[in-house]
Structure 1
Amino acid sequence: MGKRKRDEDYLLKKLKKIEDRLSRRRNEETNSESAWDHEEDPIAMDTEFGSDNASAVAVKNIDTNTPNSLPTGDEEIILDEAFLTLLGDAPKDESVAGPNIQKDIAARLREVIKNGLKKEQKEKILEEYPFPANCQLFRAPVLNPEIKAAVSDLLQKKDSSIEARQNQTGVAVTALSRALNILALEKSETNQILVKHISNASRLLCDSHCIDTRLRRNFLVSTLNNKLKETLKDTKRDKFLFGEDLSEALKATKAISKSSQDLKNITTKPKPGTSRSQPSGSQNFLNLKSPYPGVQSRKPVPSSQRATGWTPPVKNQARRPQTQPSSARGTARFKHSARRT
């Protein structure tokens, strides 16, 4: 860091020295009536001003002698085809702009696009255009009570927000339909052009209304029972999102599922590790192991011996260790030692 600081100070001093020399030189040129010879070699001035300011004087001479040698930033250079070929293919602008809208109309629509309508303005417009009696499908479909009881509160709020947007789209279609009714009374070439534009806008809004309906159905069906998904997808919307006959469709699906289970041939599979048929008699206990090592498991008593109370003796049965009092253990040790002697 110290070396860099010294280098910067040195360069600043050099630059200040060059600027002082140039300013003195300009003052001398202003006071004197003679001018510099433009053909003089700028490097020759190095003997008077030193080698540090030679490059600065050379730049000054270039700027004064050839002012138009380099283009300025305001000038536009036109490139030839050969140079453009070397640069490669030019990017294509795929966006196509339509004709401009009247500036007052455009300003108001841009404001709504950026900030939306105020609550009072929106409510006023929605009340002004009630849905037509013969086009009640402009209204957003209501969520079926059966589905509403089966989904969470979060999904219900999400569905309600999309439903409100659908109602607003339906009001927009209603307003455009009124304009079409007025134009339909008078047939003229101008009216035909207006009818075309208004009809296109109405159909696009109706398509958005249909897309929102599909969106609501799809995210609700994805959270319900998998066995009923196909039944829910086959339903058609009316004033309800899944149709008025949803209850009958669900009952029919459950009845069909129950009937199919009754018709199937149900076979019970044995549990792993167990035999299919349990043998009778004494073979049931042949594979049983004794809980004590070295002790043979006792065989079952036949029915003929069970009546008399006789049981066969067990061979090679290891005796379990028994605990004895301390006096008995001492007597046993004494007897054992006496036998050895």
Structure 2
Amino acid sequence: MGKTKRKHVSSSEDSYSEASEESMVTSSENDSREEEIYRLKQRIKRLKKRRHVGIRHKRQQKRPRHRRSSFPTPRRTSALGHKNNVGDTDTDSSRRDNEPANLLGEPLQKDIACQWSKDSTGKLVGLNPKTRDTLIKKYQIPQNLTAAQPPVLNPEIKAAVAEASITRDQRLEKTQNQMGKALAALGIAQTALLSMLKEEGGDRLRQVIETLNDAARLSADIHHDQSLSRQHVISLNLDRNVKDLIQNTTLDGWLFGENLSERFKAAKAIEKTGQELRAQQKMAPKAARPRTGSENLKPPPRQTLGGQKYHQSASRRRSTRRTGQAQQQSRYSQGHKPREKTSRRYH
């Protein structure tokens, strides 16, 4: 009997192990199938993406190319904004050749154009510092055109501004001085032509004078813009009250007008007077309200409130506690009996 039981137990253990092995095999097969399905899905996605990219590339190839416009294309620059040095002169000359005719005027004489620009590139030449100083000293500002001189920075503003702003203002002042000397040269040429016109006459001279006058007016406008730029650069480091004071100043020999210190003192005095007037208005006594017949709006005194002991200081609470104890002792000494506690009965 015992042997048969042992055989039955061993057979059940074998069947259990076989079932567990089968379940493990099926689970591994399911995992492998899921991995294969996932790989197939990813491959289908990649194929769809490639197909979409190929269709888009074919569409771009089928698009008709636009005709090349006659307007010049902008010069290519690197990522840092520097121009390409390879073939700069060739591209520049071709760009200028392709410009529309309505943007360019009649050509100048060759000798005049060579003085202002290089041989064939058309770029303006920067003057040598020595040549620049010679030309600036050659022409003087006329007596009746003192506005062509660059205005001087006020010493009060100069003391309150950073050194970097002063350096930038000096550069702008130098450019403005050079523009004023150019105005003086144009004025001298116009004066000579006007005297020739009075003596000889002729439409040709009138045309020359008109052209020089236009050049002088453009130069004067640049001179005025330089003054406004200098004011803006300096006013960036000033207080808001000072900005309001110098906002609408007229340009004269000084950049921010004459008598700036006096105007600043007057503005300070006005501001101080306004502050005093505002302080007097605040300190003025309030008018008493008319008393009405009812006193319902009047709040009860502080001590009659229920929680007055919490609003008192610690020393005050101790003193009131002592006085209460003393009053109780005096009542007991006089034969006063405390009230007995009675329980209420509800019928």
TM-score range, shorter chain: 0.5 to 0.7
How many Å separate the matches in 1 of 2:216 and 2:311?
Answer: 84
Extract unaligned runs of 5+ from structure 2.
1-64, 72-99, 284-300, 326-347
Correspondent of 1:231 among 245, 248, 251: 245
Matches within 5 A, 1:15-26: none
Against the structure 1 CA distance between its residues 117 and 286, is the aligned structure 2 distance closer, same or farther, given a 3 Å change threshold?
A: same
Aligned length: 206
Q: Which one-letter code corresponds to 1:263 in the other structure?
A: L
How many Å separate the matches in 2 of 1:284 and 1:239?
Answer: 76
How many Å separate the matches in 2 of 1:119 and 1:300?
Answer: 92
Matches within 5 A, 1:20-169: 93=100, 96-111=103-118, 114-169=124-179
How far residue 90 of structure 1 moved from its aligned partner, in angstroms, is 5.7
How far residue 125 of structure 1 moved from its aligned partner, in angstroms, is 0.9
Specify the alignment match of 1:181 in structure 2.
191
Q: Deviations over 1:172-204 (max 9, x none)?
A: 000010001101112231210110111011110
SS of the equivalent of 1:299 reads helix
* 1:214 maps to 2:228: yes
Against the structure 1 CA distance between its residues 219 and 313, is the aligned structure 2 distance closer, same or farther, given a 3 Å change threshold?
A: farther
Q: Deviations over 1:115-137 (max 9, x none)?
A: 41111111111111111112111
Specify the alignment match of 2:209 in structure 1.
195
How many Å separate the matches in 2 of 1:177 and 1:121?
Answer: 21
How far residue 299 of structure 1 moved from its aligned partner, in angstroms, is 2.9
Contact 1:150-1:224 within 8 A present in 2 as well: yes
Matches within 5 A, 1:234-249: 234-249=248-263
How far residue 88 of structure 1 moved from its aligned partner, in angstroms, is 7.7
Specify the alignment match of 2:291 in structure 1.
none
Against the structure 1 CA distance between its residues 301 and 87, is the aligned structure 2 distance closer, same or farther, given a 3 Å change threshold?
A: closer
Q: Quote the RMSD (CA, aligned, Å).
A: 3.3
Contact 1:166-1:212 within 8 A present in 2 as well: yes
Against the structure 1 CA distance between its residues 113 and 209, is the aligned structure 2 distance closer, same or farther, given a 3 Å change threshold?
A: farther
How many Å separate the matches in 2 of 1:140 and 1:113?
Answer: 28
Against the structure 1 CA distance between its residues 163 and 298, is the aligned structure 2 distance closer, same or farther, given a 3 Å change threshold?
A: same
Q: Which one-letter code corresponds to 1:103 in the other structure?
A: K
Greater share of residues in helix: 2
Q: Deviations over 1:269-299 (max 9, x none)?
A: xxxxxxxxxx999x9984479xxxxxxx453
How many Å separate the matches in 1 of 2:192 and 2:315?
Answer: 105
Contact 1:228-1:253 within 8 A present in 2 as well: no
Q: Which one-letter code corresponds to 1:208 in the other structure?
A: I
How many Å separate the matches in 2 of 1:184 and 1:170?
Answer: 21
Higher relative contact order (CA 8 A, sep 6+): 2
Extract unaligned runs of 5+ from structure 1.
1-85, 269-278, 290-296, 315-341
Runs (4+) off by over 2 Å = 86-95, 111-115, 265-268, 283-289, 297-302, 310-314
How far residue 153 of structure 1 moved from its aligned partner, in angstroms, is 0.4
Contact 1:235-1:246 within 8 A present in 2 as well: no
How many Å separate the matches in 2 of 1:95 and 1:249?
Answer: 52
Against the structure 1 CA distance between its residues 285 and 125, is the aligned structure 2 distance closer, same or farther, given a 3 Å change threshold?
A: farther
How many Å separate the matches in 2 of 1:154 and 1:140?
Answer: 19
Specify the alignment match of 1:262 in structure 2.
276
SS of the equivalent of 1:237 reads coil
Against the structure 1 CA distance between its residues 234 and 88, is the aligned structure 2 distance closer, same or farther, given a 3 Å change threshold?
A: same
Q: Deviations over 1:44-65 (max 9, x none)?
A: xxxxxxxxxxxxxxxxxxxxxx
**TM-score under structure 2 normalisation?**
0.52
Against the structure 1 CA distance between its residues 280 and 226, is the aligned structure 2 distance closer, same or farther, given a 3 Å change threshold?
A: farther
SS of the equivalent of 1:99 reads coil
Q: Which one-letter code corresponds to 2:160 in the other structure?
A: A
